[in-house]
Chains A and B, each alone.
Chain A
């Protein structure tokens, strides 16, 4: 049984907010989903490694050439910029 306060805690971690009705909705659906998930805990996985690769080892990069984006390309999708920086309201504690 997932509690309402637990849902709120998860929402804070995920940086999301919901109105009370939605929190209740989530609490219910969450609980259902979680109960389904718990069934997986019963599967016998003795001696089985977790899947971390689908296809085996990846590769390392080893390049001589540097490449970056032009600054105006970098900044063009932000709401506010100043002197080439991304700008947000002062949120220093």
Chain B
């Protein structure tokens, strides 16, 4: 029996029945990583204590302890999530040797829940990118076709789950960085509502957009992982008390009957060049309708500004969040300086990659006093986008769209063109702007490559989003 091909909930069943032990599961995955990861490069670091931790879990289980939801399961973490005593590099030379002295809140939750962190996964440097090509530790290949990108920025986590190197993984999503790689790798990728999962210990990219989210091979797995990490955290001022609300989906068959689904007209106007992809969305709409849901095309007029609004605000936030990388208390420090300015300039210029520098430059420009009116304006447009969604959710349960206008593509095909990179996030940024929950789930193939369906739920209405997703998942089996 190949334990690495089983889903998390299937592994759980085998743990409960004592058919396998946590050590069996972790060992199987470590062996597979050993054989397969040199091809894929999903992992930057592995947890050397993973087997020892699995042994501990097995001991506790044999003493009669009840099996928690993620207990004994190997979980991969994107390498911008801080793990105590385990290198956290953010895919950057700047943090190549950084060993954090503390754990992120989500890591504490995993440890408390008995989950086993198997390793830290590759990412675009500091989570900035959508291809997995900007990492200091090399690119991550798509397990479905290794000439192609796995997507980004959470490419490593997506590839890990898609290649059966871990059943569950965490990523972060600021403008689509979980959903797009989920789409490219044929997985479920879920970004929770802003404030549902604590950001304490998650290296900030754009702090009013960032959320930790999950990858799983199906919705049940994704929900399992989500429940393992969500919850109110007093150390994060943006954490919401609503995150303690239970998120569950009942097993009733009729998830979709009577559900009201909105498709943004504006996205239809920004349809992908590949007609095959657009056709898949139309097929998905038919599935929903056949299952008893009502699907309408609805206008969210300010969505056409979403990408620019995202670009401006996120760049401004990034530039400020990246200022702490100065080489003094931690991180790369240049050997070559004779003044304080040189210390900063050389440490940062040596330690940070091109894409990161570009966004810092953009953000610094936007925050400077002569140009500050631009990001102040963008913050108002953001409100308008939020209001558009608010209005729609008064009448509709969920909003759906394509996850991304592209199929997974070859390496270096869109390198160096920042605008092309951003356009990939066309459909995903809105959920980050408005703080909504959103997920991508597989909806078939075009040219043998996976296409993702995006479902966007209202704030803290993960239940509706998951209901819609589960209904769709079941309908297409």
Give the interface of A toward B (CB within 8 A): 2, 6-7, 10-11, 13-18, 26, 29-30, 32-34, 36-41, 43, 45, 48-52, 54-55, 58-59, 61, 69-70, 73-74, 76-79, 86, 88-89, 91
Contacts and interface: CB of A to CB of B under 8 A. Distances in A.
Interface string B340-370: 1101111011001000011011101110100
Given A51-B383, A77-B97, A33 B378 contact: no
Contacts of B352: 16
Interface string B194-238: 110000000000001000000000000000000000000010011
B308 A26 contact: no
A32 B419 CA distance: 9
18 contacts: A10-B361, A10-B364, A11-B361, A13-B368, A14-B360, A14-B361, A17-B346, A34-B365, A36-B311, A39-B308, A41-B374, A41-B377, A45-B384, A48-B384, A50-B380, A77-B101, A77-B330, A86-B328
B97 A40 contact: no
Nearest to B208: A54
Given A14-B319, A40-B305, A54-B195, 12 more contacts: A2-B365, A10-B368, A18-B349, A40-B312, A43-B302, A54-B238, A55-B238, A55-B459, A70-B101, A77-B99, A77-B331, A79-B333
Nearest to A50: B379
B382 A51 contact: yes
Contacts of B349: 16-18
Contacts of A73: 101
Contacts of B348: 14-16
Contacts of A50: 376, 379-380, 382-383
Given A40-B305, A45-B377, A78 B238 contact: no
Report, nearest first, the 6 A-B pairs whose CB atoms are least far apart.
A50-B379, A58-B237, A77-B330, A73-B101, A54-B435, A45-B380
B418 interface: yes
Contacts of B384: 43, 45, 48
Given A26-B361, A29-B358, A77-B98, A59 B234 contact: yes
B365 A49 contact: no
Contacts of B51: none
B1 interface: no
B302 to A, nearest CB: 7
Interface of B: 97-99, 101-102, 194-195, 208, 234, 237-238, 240, 242, 302, 305, 308-309, 311-312, 319, 326-331, 333, 337-341, 343-346, 348-349, 352, 357-358, 360-362, 364-366, 368, 373-374, 376-384, 386, 418-419, 435, 459
A85 B435 CA distance: 41
A37 B374 contact: yes
Contacts of B331: 77
Contacts of B386: 51
B129 to A, nearest CB: 15
B341 A74 contact: no
A25 to B, nearest CB: 9
Contacts of B97: 77
A73 B100 CA distance: 8
- Which of A18, A29, A45, A51 is most buried by chain B, counting CB atoms within 10 A of its CB? A51
A21 B365 CA distance: 19
A7 B364 CA distance: 10
Most chain A CB atoms below 10 A, which of B238, B330, B373: B330
Contacts of B319: 14
Contacts of B101: 69-70, 73-74, 76-77
B327 A79 contact: yes
B238 A58 contact: yes
A78 B343 CA distance: 14
Nearest to A80: B333
A70 B194 CA distance: 32
A16 B361 contact: yes
Given A13-B368, A77-B330, A37 B357 contact: no
Given A48-B384, A54-B195, A91-B340, A36 B308 contact: yes
Contacts of A89: 337-338, 343
A43 B377 CA distance: 9
Contacts of B366: 37
B360 A45 contact: no
B383 A88 contact: no
A53 B97 CA distance: 35
A62 to B, nearest CB: 10
A50 to B, nearest CB: 3
Contacts of B98: 77
